[in-house]
Structure 1
Amino acid sequence: MQYQTPIEAVHGVNFWKKTDESVIVPPITEDTDSALGRKKIPKRIKGKNESPSKKKKKVRQESPTKVSREKRIIHCGRCGAVGHNSRKCSSIGVEIQRPPKKNKESSQPMLSQVID
């Protein structure tokens, strides 16, 4: 089925016909963001002692046992320069500088050293 007169395309809002009708306003809701879309279905039914709403994330407190990586200076393991690590080091032929291994001293004396 075709229209008797062709429908002409309108190029934009500026070309719309002006009318005396009132402006259409969307319905007022309490929270427009939550009202949009489908309602969320809970994944599980919460127990008696559980709170009905989501728990807020706890603010991280500085722990005396954990060290943060913030404000740490990176040193290269090959050349010892500051600001990059051994993966990004430009001096490829240089061997990696490692501190000398410390000898572990056992707290218990060996059996051959025990004097009776």
Structure 2
Amino acid sequence: MKRNPETFSRAYFKTTSTCEDALNNFSESYNSAIEKARALPLVEMLETIRRQAMLRIDVRKKESLKHKGKFSLKVGKVIAIEELHRKYCRIYPGPTGQFEVKEKSVSYKVNMKSHTCACRRWDLSGIPCRHALRVVQDKKTYMTEDLISHWYLTSTRQAQYSDNIKPMNGMKFWNASGEETIEPPARDKSKRRKKNHAKRMKSVHESPMKGKKVTQHSRTMHCSRCGLAGHNSLGCSNGGVPLKPRPPKKKAKTQQMVDSVSLDVGEGPSQPSLSSVTFD
């Protein structure tokens, strides 16, 4: 209550905008889109935003022309959710176009002529709520499409993006005003943005970073000849110990394919030599 709920609570929203959103996602998206433009001087900033708006309108125009439904996709999603709850409603007819719809233990007044309901979902969004959909289900005289606001029509969306911002000549063709050029204010070095520091280097006891080789730290070397620790086979001084052959390395995938083919085909005078066959 200290923050004045009239500025953010749906209870105080007007129904003329046909929008029930109580979020600031629009401003967040706008600020994100013009983030680079805001760092430019005033005139260049406005020109960049204008061109971004031209591109965005053109993209929305193409999307609206591709949509084949009568209403936007949001309408179908909202109605599908509300239809799941209308089975818990029961209607009581009143005067012409007016009904009392009871959901569990709460009753709501629905006016089908003025497209209003006491729950205010229909009033705020322009899309029929579960109580109005229950009336449509029981009374066959109403159609769901007739109860949806015209703002959700595909034709309305196409009309909104039918026109775009007019193009204009660049700054080269502008008439000089004769006034001084507005320069950005000087910034104190101490107030400049600090550079991003490099990521923390992990110690040898932590998991290695991606792309880095594992170090030999805290690992004990063993000789492949005598098996003792502290040296390798090149520096082995233990005489009389037979040399242990190294384990064969894994064959390459190409060589394995050649070997498998040679075993399946076999050798014969009419068959070509597989040693000259290459595999990509």
TM-score (norm 1): 0.34
Higher strand share: 2
Higher RCO structure (Cα 8 Å, ≥6 apart): 2
Q: What TM-score does the superposition give when structure 2 sets the normalisation length? A: 0.17
